[in-house]
Structure 1
Amino acid sequence: MGLRAGGRDVRDAVLGLVPTAVALLVAAAVLDGLAFSSSWLALLIATVLGLVDAVVLPVLRVLAGRVGAVISLLLGIAAQVAVVEAALVVVPGVTVSGWGTAAWTLLIVSVVLAVTRWLAGVNDSSYLVADLIHRGRVRRRSPAGGGGEGVVIVQIDGLPFPVLEVGTAAGTLPTLSRWIRSGSHDAARWWARVPSTTPAGQAGLLHGTNDGIPAFRWYDKEAGRLFVANRPADAAAVEARLSDGRGLLAEGGVSISNMFSGDAPTAHVVMSRAGSSFGLGPGKAYVRFFASPFVLVRALVRTIGEMVKELYQGRQQRLRGIEPRVSRHGSYVALRGLTNVLLRDLNVALVAEHMMAAAPVIFVDFVDYDEIAHHAGVLRPESLAALAGLDGVLATLEQVADAAPRPYRFVVLSDHGQSQGATFRQLSGRALEDAVREHTGAGKASTLADTRDAEAWGPLNAMLTELLGKSKLGPNPGHGAAPDGDRPELVVVGSGNLGLVWFPRRTGRVPIEELGRLFPGLIPGLLGEPGIGFLVVDSARGPLAVGREGVHVLEEGLIEGTDPLAPFGPRAARDLARVAAMDNAPDVYVHSTLDERTREVHAFEELVGCHGGLGGWQNEAVLVHPADWPLELEPGETMLYGADAVHRQLVRWLADCGARKSLR
């Protein structure tokens, strides 16, 4: 058995050298300063590259352990060129003109390898971790020494349960389909409560509570400023308020590319820690990605390819007249490439590093599907292709688990689902803030509005904040605290198909009785707008859901006239009563309509796929878990209700498998 395994490793190693050797021959044909006396030398150089890399990486790992990710990046880039130069110099019969030629060789080989994998239809991430897998197989797994199983929790951001069902039934998600069909895993729905957003979902999943997060962004009257959850400083403030020090990852866990840390001792690209002394995490974890020959450069090449693909797919959507759709120009093109290739590859490399280090629990967020679905649509081909790519990531991590020093179990979940539909602007011809201004008489200069897409910029900002200092890419309306006299008269923000309106110069929540006196045209005016289904406001009777033809008294459960919440299901009233009771809830929640024929909703941002409120698939989140780990539902519930309930379930599972010592 050992000889057969060893032979397989040798075969895999040799086959892995062939593409690199071919790419080196292409580089020699293109570059004047590079020549081989024999074509067979390319295979020898590829072998030497691997050997030199194996010697250099441990040294870099020691150096990087003393510095942060920024120095690791610089060391890694220098090391890549140096490794290529060394391999070319060491092998006799090779002519190389200098460091510049080595750098160009690195680039050309990376391009050729990336194009070759694309032409061959290979779309997995195994090239990122191939050396880890080979080394792990050689070492073989040693007993975990009483440490129990480890757990890798993979969040596929924004994946609705019905889309998972489609993918597994069609077989286009082969890894997840195999897990579910084989009976090793079960797939369950869980209900993502309002607000069905990433900050609320991740706060609940990682810290067990999301109280005080009324939307993706909100105005805090007491602080006198706008909070945006994916700004590092705001994420840090939210986590400081919610954390009790015993989050999901508190016992030796690792948090990767999340909005919050889950109290993990080790965190990489986590928004709440970007800019802090924790930074991007220990520099040594980045060494393989930054320093291994052709890995980082190949990721950059594939990033550019993703941008080109987006330009083509966006144009095809326009030419074919696909509706509903939104503009896919501008900065989104670059953002898609950076988040869906570079960040994904970095995440895979980081997860693999910590699996090989036997971390007890790892929680990582992949934003690929969510980001593309926002701009292309929930079930559009490019969105499903991104989901298939993430299924390939699971296959890669499964290979890493086979070589890791401890056994690992996988949990795959989403923080919310996603719904689709034409935007409010497309229906009405104007933005929500324009409608509110008209119905209140507020001036444009005294209005703070933020209804642009800001969610996708968060992971990139978290990375750049550490690499470049304070970074705020993407929409930024300005949200510093202001003296009372300088406060805007009106604040309007969008959070998917949930809009929020504040009157900052008035203390506390402004009840409907006062709104009627101050702005008599506001309530009827907004309800008369196309695409607006109901409003949630405070009153002497508590929070009300007010529709065009009826009112739902949320605390009492009384309905006067036609229930405006009827199309949104039996959980709608409970969800809205909860968020309406939050201290920083808006004076007016504005919620879109739900088309009962198409199940479409209407975002107050320019996004064709959205989440934040109710309706469609946005509340139907995913939980794929080992089949021998039972779900423990609350009495009367058919699914886990809320991210906090999923958190409690995850904690129980971690404790049962030995990845956590305490249920607290």
Structure 2
Amino acid sequence: MAISLHEPPSAPAARNWRADLRALLSWRRVLNRLRAVLRSAVVTFVVLTVTLWLMPGVNSNDIVDTLGLVLVVAGVGAVLRPLLLVGIVALGGWGAMLLGILAQITVIVVALEIDPANRISGLPSLVLTAILAIVFAAIVDWMLDSGSDDTFVRESKRLMRGVRRRQARLAGGPFITLRRPRAGTEPGLLMVQLDGLSEPVLRWAVRAGNLPTLGHWLRSGSHKMRGWHTGLPSTTPASQAGILHGATRQVPAFRWFEKDTGKLMVTNRPRDAAVIEPRLSDGRGLLRDGGVSIGNAFSGDAAVSLLTVSHAALPGRSARGWAAFMASPYGFTRALVLGAGEVITELHQARLQRRRNLQPRVSRSGSFLALRPASMLLRDVNVSLIAEQMARGAPAVYCDLVDYDEVAHHAGPARPESMRQLESLDRMLGVLERLAPEAARRYHLVVLSDHGQSQGATFKQRYCETLDEVVERFSSPDPADAPTTPAEEEATKEPDFPEPPIAPLLVVSSGNLSLVYLTKFTERLDRGQIERVYPRLINGLVAHPGIGLVVVRDADGPVVLGTSGSHRLIDGVVEGIDPLLPYGPRARHDLLRHQEAAHVGDLVLISSVDPVTEEVSAFEELVGSHGGLGGWQTDAVLVHPARWPITQPELDGPDAIHRQLVEWLSMLGLRTQTLAADDQQHELLPAEAPSLSGTHDG
């Protein structure tokens, strides 16, 4: 309810004003505020006591003086934090990140400077004391919450109410809102991607009772879970190219080489993602009608893109959720402190794997030590940004949460460390459910993954050489075939191409998928052309025990070569033992579709798969991998409201998921145009569909 400052309120408005005031002063709200103030005071007192006790040269640590300092900190924070938040919003991006840290330090430094007891003097000592106090405060808050997300939820709700009040003022002039805005009734769709999560792992975790939020939705009947098949390549950029744009074939792998430009494309490099996105976009992406992309590889033609790789920029001034997270004591600073704890946890877990001689395993040092806390920080930032967009009333939001995928790569997809990350993501879904009453729309929630992961010892661990070394060995001239006369030597010379800036034979790997390019040739070569340049290469790769499939174009189309047989993809003709048998019944279709992708390699290699354990050998140093075929890496998952129809005949490939999500958006009235003129409209009304704010209604 809002009341104009310029016109006298009518009688109904006055009654609503009194109702708002009664709601504002209700005993429950007053009690909650007093409880929050008391907790903040106790935490501040404990933190300052410990900090001052640890600081050398402190004149006194009297309890009364410390209580006075608690009041000073509260007063300084009440004055400075709103001003600093304005500065953070104005700066945006990296400035917000830097000032967000400085904001917490500034509040403590100013409070200590004006402390009547004058126990700390000198700027270096003041700054050190402030940093210690912030670290201790993060630890104490985490201990008090006992792993819950109550504080995070409270801060997010405060942010959402502020956003909605500002929107109300902008919409109707200078208004005063005495109580929190009412929850919206128009539908919205929130799509949360749990990166790298396979359907079998999620189903097992739900049955084990480890995921209370998702488990409750499924057991109550409000949502259904079903698997979907990613096809090849089973990697995030390809899946998101399909899910967000319906253009999977533009992305043949996580990395690939483009012969026409001579460039190596890596999809998690912003400059490359920015080049790729225009190839995907036809202006009809999943998020084109006012949607928001958060933390994705591509935008889906979203109106707002936040932390999206193809739009390489931190959130700007309009993203108040970013600024509030950076300025909040429970935001960026807390995430940094707990991230340091994640590094220690990671070192401990890696040591346990070594002591137990757990196999398979890989080194978990180096860059991965930074990736683990970074993914945790990114998760909290993303949820804060989602909360803001829910308050703004964005019609559709798609967000990628990467925690599980990052840990599973190095620990293994079903190892305890990975499952704990999955449990934390389930808690984040619970957070979004708790934030729903503050949203400007009645959001419906879809949870999905982009691919799964398969486990196994790496190719190098099993065969004591990398795939690059294998390819180099089989591409080098056979000493027995060395020319003996000048005429023979002249006949064996390759054409005089200008030397490219990269190797003439390039191996580009993504999990247990590898694309091999003969870079001196501008067109894609067939089997005969490759064998004329490198006579031993194809046969050598086919005979290697670590390579299960070699795909190459032949006179009759693409053919799959294995150790004991071949499989022609066009018509399914098999000679000898079918090399596709260990890869399941969809392998032929997946490989044939992959052969139609842009910039696919002259050779496509898939590592061998164990027929008993379904383990694969990644060509990268990853114990959990995806990108190719074999195991659970192609088994993605979709969790959706139970009464929503599945209209796609088969959820085969990311493009099919795109079409299904678009139809659900149309069903909710959030799509201005359908994908095709003959798209059928469904009779299920938005009000009948289970929502995030009503997931218990079956």
The alignment partner of 1:552 has SS state of strand
The alignment partner of 2:310 has SS state of helix
Match of 1:168 in 2: 206
Structure-1 separation of matches of 2:147 and 2:199 = 24
Number of residues of Structure 1 aligned to a counterpart in Structure 2: 614
Match of 1:322 in 2: 358
1:69–1:282: 8 Å Cα contact kept in structure 2?
Answer: no
1:71 is aligned to 2:98: no
1:371 is aligned to 2:419: no
Match of 2:252 in 1: 214
1:245/1:621 Cα in 2 relative to 1: closer, same or farther (>3 Å)?
Answer: same
**Equivalent of 1:131, from 155, 159, 177?**
155
1:190 is aligned to 2:205: no
Identity value in percent: 45
Match of 2:660 in 1: 649
1:596 is aligned to 2:611: yes
Structure-1 separation of matches of 2:658 and 2:453 = 21
1:286 CA displacement? 2.0
Q: Which amino acid aligns with 1:229?
A: T
2:226–2:639: 8 Å Cα contact kept in structure 1?
Answer: yes
1:421 CA displacement? 0.5
Of 391-400 and 583-592, deviating more is 391-400
Q: Which amino acid aligns with 1:366?
A: L
**Equivalent of 1:555, from 537, 553, 570?**
570
1:509 is aligned to 2:549: no
2:236–2:254: 8 Å Cα contact kept in structure 1?
Answer: yes
The alignment partner of 1:272 has SS state of coil
Structure-2 separation of matches of 1:53 and 1:403 = 26
1:205/1:633 Cα in 2 relative to 1: closer, same or farther (>3 Å)?
Answer: same
Of 422-431 and 127-136, deviating more is 127-136
Aligned-pair Cα RMSD in Å: 2.7
**Equivalent of 1:180, from 218, 226, 233?**
218
Structure-2 separation of matches of 1:19 and 1:268 = 33
Match of 2:624 in 1: 609
The alignment partner of 2:554 has SS state of coil
Match of 1:488 in 2: 503
Q: Deviations over 1:106-152 (max 9, x none)?
A: 422332233335545733444344233246578434253x7x22222
1:110 is aligned to 2:134: yes
Of 517-526 and 11-20, deviating more is 11-20
Match of 1:335 in 2: 371
1:56 is aligned to 2:83: yes
1:309 CA displacement? 0.9
The alignment partner of 2:157 has SS state of helix
1:10 is aligned to 2:10: no
The alignment partner of 2:248 has SS state of coil
1:114/1:135 Cα in 2 relative to 1: closer, same or farther (>3 Å)?
Answer: closer
Of 411-420 and 250-259, deviating more is 250-259
Match of 2:546 in 1: 531
Match of 1:466 in 2: none
* Aligned residue runs from structure 1 range 221-232, under 5 A: 221-232=259-270
Q: Which amino acid aligns with 2:548?
A: G
Name stretches of at least 5 consecutive residues in structure 2 with no aligned partner.
Answer: 1-21, 162-177, 479-496, 676-698
Match of 2:483 in 1: none
Of 342-351 and 221-230, deviating more is 342-351
1:295/1:104 Cα in 2 relative to 1: closer, same or farther (>3 Å)?
Answer: farther
Rg larger in structure: 2
Match of 1:662 in 2: 673
Structure-1 separation of matches of 2:122 and 2:439 = 39
Structure-2 separation of matches of 1:647 and 1:49 = 50
Q: Which amino acid aligns with 2:611?
A: E
Q: Which amino acid aligns with 2:443?
A: Y
Of 249-258 and 2-11, deviating more is 2-11
Structure-2 separation of matches of 1:246 and 1:100 = 55
Structure-1 separation of matches of 2:76 and 2:216 = 36
Q: Which amino acid aligns with 1:527?
A: V
Q: Which amino acid aligns with 2:653?
A: G
Q: Which amino acid aligns with 2:449?
A: S
1:37 is aligned to 2:64: yes
Name stretches of at least 5 consecutive residues in structure 1 with no aligned partner.
Answer: 444-481
Q: Deviations over 1:440-469 (max 9, x none)?
A: 1179xxxxxxxxxxxxxxxxxxxxxxxxxx
Alignment TM-score, normalising by the size of structure 2 = 0.82
1:281 CA displacement? 7.2
1:236 is aligned to 2:274: yes
Match of 1:631 in 2: 646
1:34–1:97: 8 Å Cα contact kept in structure 2?
Answer: no
Q: Which amino acid aligns with 2:355?
A: L
1:88 CA displacement? 5.5
Structure-1 separation of matches of 2:429 and 2:587 = 34
Structure-1 separation of matches of 2:333 and 2:59 = 21
Structure-2 separation of matches of 1:92 and 1:648 = 66
Match of 1:441 in 2: 476
1:325–1:375: 8 Å Cα contact kept in structure 2?
Answer: yes
Alignment TM-score, normalising by the size of structure 1 = 0.86
1:310 CA displacement? 0.9
Of 315-324 and 131-140, deviating more is 131-140
Q: Which amino acid aligns with 1:318?
A: R
* Aligned residue runs from structure 1 range 334-353, under 5 A: 334-339=370-375, 341-353=376-388
Match of 2:4 in 1: none
The alignment partner of 2:189 has SS state of strand
Structure-2 separation of matches of 1:33 and 1:257 = 49
1:493–1:499: 8 Å Cα contact kept in structure 2?
Answer: yes
The alignment partner of 2:506 has SS state of strand
